[in-house]
Amino acid sequence: MEKIFTGNGIEIIKRDNKYYLIYDAGEICDRMEEIQINEEEVENAQKSSMDAYNIIIKYQNEMMFGKKKQ
């Protein structure tokens, strides 16, 4: 495991040639969640906390509602 970035309320790691974004999804206590992201999202998540938040929301919506058709 290689730590790529820490900041903006997230941590990005690389494990087995895949990137993962780790964030605190807990409300009352810490509950760390991990989502697999692509290289473009790795770059975007490092820009600002809002960019990181938008990536998290995108994946949460996909988990709840499925991927949207393009």
The per-residue pLDDT for range 12-65, each reduced to its tens digit, is 999 999 999 999 988 888 899 999 999 999 999 999 999 999 999 999 999 889
For the cut 80, the answer to whether the pLDDT of residue 68 exceeds it is no
Please indicate, yes or no, whether the overall pTM of this predicted structure exceeds 0.85. Answer: yes
pLDDT of residue 69: 62
- Whether the CB-CB separation of 18 and 4 falls below 8 Å is answered with no
For residues 53 and 46, what is the distance between their CA atoms, to the nearest angstrom?
11
pLDDT of residue 27: 83
- Picking from 11, 18, 20, the residue whose alpha carbon sits closest to that of residue 46 is 11
- Whether the CB-CB separation of 21 and 45 falls below 8 Å is answered with yes
For the cut 90, the answer to whether the pLDDT of residue 67 exceeds it is no
Alpha carbon distance, N-terminus to C-terminus of the chain: 33
- Letter for the amino acid at 11? E
